[in-house]
Chain A
Amino acid sequence: MPIVVEKLKHSYMEGSSLAHDALRDIDLTVHDGEFLGLIGHTGSGKSTFVQHLNGLLQPTSGTVTVDGFNMADKKQRVQGRRLVGMVFQYPEYQLFEETVQRDVAYGVKNMGMGEKEALERADEAMALVGLDPVKFRDKSPFELSGGEKRRAALAGIIVMRPKYLVLDEPMAGLDPLGRHAILDTIDSLRETLGCAVVMVSHSMDDMADRAERIAVLAKGRLIRVGTTAEVFGDAKTLIDNGLDVPQVSRLALMLRERGVDVPSTIFDMDEMELALLRLLGKGGEKQ
Chain B
Amino acid sequence: MIDIENVTFQYEDAVEPALRDVSLHIKKGEFLAVVGHNGSGKSTLARHLNALLLPTNGAVRVEGMNTKDEENTLPIRQKVGIVFQNPDNQIVTTVVEEDVAFGPENIGVPPEEIRKRVDNALLAVGMEEFAARAPHMLSGGQKQRIAIAGMIAMEPEVLVLDEATAMLDPKGRRDILSVVSKLHRKKGITVVMITQYMEEATAADRVAVMSGGRLILCGTPEEVFRETELLRQHRLDVPAMTELKERLNAAGAELPDTILTVEDMADAICRSLLKN
Contacts and interface: CB of A to CB of B under 8 A. Distances in A.
A168 interface: no
A280 B273 contact: yes
B276 A145 contact: no
A41 B251 contact: no
Interface stretch (B109-117, B125-133, B165-173, B177-185): B165-173
Interface stretch (A22-30, A65-73, A118-126, A250-258): A250-258
A144 B248 CA distance: 41
B196 interface: yes
Interface residues on B, range: 35 or more
A42 B172 contact: yes
Interface in B241-274: 241, 243-244, 247-248, 251-253, 262-263, 265-266, 269-270, 272-273
Given A172-B167, A251-B266, A286 B240 contact: no
Given A248-B240, A251-B262, A255-B269, A276 B167 contact: no
A177 B38 CA distance: 9
A42 B141 CA distance: 10
Contact of B241 (A42, A178, A244, A251): A251
A254 B267 CA distance: 10
A280 B253 contact: yes
B45 to A, nearest CB: 15
B26 interface: no
Given A42-B139, A282-B253, A173 B266 contact: no
Contacts of B276: 280-281
Given A41-B171, A42-B172, A175 B266 contact: no
A255 B266 contact: yes
Interface string A271-282: 011001101111
Most buried by B among A43, A173, A244, A285: A173
A243 interface: yes
Contacts of B37: 175-177
Given A247-B262, A250-B262, A277 B38 contact: no
B56 to A, nearest CB: 23
A254 B251 contact: no
A226 interface: no
A190 interface: no
Contacts of B169: 41-42, 202
B171 A254 contact: no
Contacts of B171: 41-42, 242
A32 interface: no
Nearest to A176: B237
A277 B241 contact: no
B136 interface: no
A276 B196 contact: no
A183 interface: no
B236 interface: yes
A146 interface: yes
Interface in B34-48: 37-39
Contacts of B236: 176
Contacts of A272: 244
B126 to A, nearest CB: 16
A178 B38 contact: yes
Contact of B235 (A145, A177, A254): A177
A21 interface: no
Interface in B68-111: 85
Interface in B160-208: 166-167, 169-172, 196, 199
Nearest to A40: B169
B134 to A, nearest CB: 16
A286 B273 contact: no
A277 B248 contact: yes
A269 interface: yes
Contacts of A286: 251
Interface string B132-145: 00000001100000
A205 B262 CA distance: 13
B248 A254 contact: no
Interface in A96-115: none
A248 B244 CA distance: 9
A271 to B, nearest CB: 11
Contacts of B85: 173
Given A258-B266, A280-B253, 6 more contacts: A175-B196, A177-B235, A244-B170, A258-B270, A260-B269, A269-B243
